[in-house]
Amino acid sequence: MKPGYGEVLISEGDPRVREDEERLIAEFRRQLDEGMWAAVPTSTPGSGRRQALMVHDYSDVPPEAERVIFFPRAAGG
Amino acid sequence: MLPALLVLALIAVVLAAPVVLRAARVRRAAGRARVTRPGEDLAALDYDPGRERRAEQRARQLLRSCVNEEEWEMYRDLGFIRVAGSGQQRRGAAARRRAADRAAAPPDPADIPPYAYLLYPHKPVVAFVPADGRLLSEYCVEFPDLTGVGRSRLPASDDVLAKWMALTSDESRVIGQANMHLVGRQLDPARVRRDLWRLAEWERRRAGSQEARRA
């Protein structure tokens, strides 16, 4: 998420392909180093309930995740 | 004749002096503001209404793809989203199974979370008690872009999604970052109560139309 632009695609690839995964990891770290938070939208089968999973490391990303959303970290307003 | 003109000129200078001084002071203050807040000027120059509108459209699509159908329709129709407090999640598995089993049945008091939040775009998060509509507190939280210059505000729907993701994934962390106040500091309590009433009416109508569709 970016002010003035909304959703911006940062990087995409197949994590099962080594080169893609390295690129995804590098971008993931760069975003977190810039102070962003990362979350993966998830759903609970059967209930229709949806929620997000905050990820602090690339290894925390569920294998079935289709996307990771980076957004500015929260601050007191 | 000449002395009279000189006296008149002197009087004119004396009368005009305060006006000229005031104008100079205003200009100097504006110059100082330009020096101390360059980002704001850049932001003003950088503002493009078309781009902002497209950003908001993209943000709405992203929000819709992340939240469930009920939450999306709530935001579309009412302009805010209700999120249950984590008390619901702690005792949740059994309650969620029950909810899935009897989605059409009236809500069981056991399924009502002890507290919940209303998420408004670019406004504080409001905590309330769903059982009786009591307003608890407002949490002032924002998601400022710290990486670049220029605009630092997310599109409205991205702001709601950021709150939703932060609250549903790590409620204690985001609440810990927020500044907590009694309701009324930024939001009008009467307006929030009216929104809770609108939400109750909206849920009643939605349940009715879903029942009619099933029949």
d(CA B111, CA B78): 23
**What's at B24, amino acid-wise?**
A
Looking at residues B92-109, what average pLDDT do you find?
A: 49
The long-range contacts involving B67-71, CB below 8 angstroms and separated by at least 24 positions, are: B67/A50, B67/B161, B67/B164, B68/A43, B68/A48, B68/A49, B68/A50, B69/A48, B70/A48, B70/B206, B71/A50, B71/B164
- Going by the DSSP 8-state scheme, the letter that residue B119 receives in this structure is E
Helix (H, G, I), strand (E, B) or coil at A34: coil
Q: Does the pLDDT at position B177 exceed 90? A: no
pTM above 0.80, yes or no: no
Tell me which of B15 and B167 has the higher pLDDT. B167
On the question of pLDDT at B1 being above 90, the answer is: no
- The predicted structure's pLDDT at residue B11: 79
Over 60: is that where the pLDDT of A9 sits? Answer: yes
Report the Cα–Cα distance between both ends of chain A, in Å, rounded: 19
- A18-57 residues touching B, CB cutoff 8 A: 34-37, 39, 41, 43-44, 46-54
Span B12-29, pLDDT tens digits: 777 777 777 676 776 665
Q: State the pLDDT at residue B164.
A: 96
Q: What is the pLDDT of residue B147?
A: 64
Q: Do A37 and B166 touch (CB under 8 A)?
A: yes
pLDDT digits (tens, 9 = 90+) for B29-72: 555 544 444 444 555 556 788 888 899 999 999 999 999 999 99
What stretches of B178-188 show up as alpha helix (H) in DSSP?
none
Residues of B in contact with A6 (CB under 8 A): 54-59, 62, 154-155, 157-158
Half-sphere exposure in the Cβ direction for B67 (13 Å, CA): 30
* Contact yes or no for B68 and A49 at CB 8 A: yes
Look at residue B152 in the predicted model and tell me its pLDDT.
73
The residues that bridge with A37 in the sheet, in sequence order, are A71
Question: pLDDT of B190-215, one tens digit each?
Answer: 999 999 999 999 999 998 888 887 77
B144-148 — which CB contacts under 8 Å span 24+ positions? B144/A72, B144/A75, B145/A2, B145/A3, B145/A72, B146/A34, B146/A35, B146/A72, B147/A34, B147/A35, B147/A36
Which pLDDT score, from 0 to 100, does residue B108 have?
60
pLDDT at B80: 97
Q: Residue B109's pLDDT band (boundaries 50, 70, 90)?
A: low
Query: At A35, is the secondary structure helix, strand, or coil?
Result: coil
Asked if the Cβ–Cβ distance from A41 to B46 is below 8 Å, we say no
| Rg of chain A in Å (alpha carbons) | 13
Q: What is the distance in angstroms between the Cα of A49 and the nearest Cα belonging to chain B?
A: 6
Summarize the confidence of residues B82-99 as an average pLDDT: 60
pLDDT tens by residue, B116-143: 999 999 999 999 999 999 999 999 999 8
Q: How many residues appear in chain A?
A: 77
Using CA atoms, how far apart are residues B123 and B159, in angstroms rounded to an integer?
9
Cα A38 to chain centroid, rounded: 4
Q: φ and ψ at B98, to 5 degrees?
A: -60, -40
Token pair for B206 = 């939605």
Task: Provide ipTM, 2 decimals.
Answer: 0.91
List of chain B residues whose C-beta atoms are within 8 Å of the C-beta of residue A75: 141-144, 177
pLDDT score recorded for residue B182: 93
**Based on the number of CB atoms within 10 Å of its own CB, is B165 exposed (0-12), middle (13-18) or buried (19 or more)?**
buried
Query: CB–CB of A74 and B58 under 8 A?
Result: no
Encode pLDDT of A11-65 as tens digits: 999 999 999 999 999 999 999 999 999 999 998 877 778 999 999 999 999 998 9
- Examine the pLDDT at B148 and tell me if it is beyond 70: no
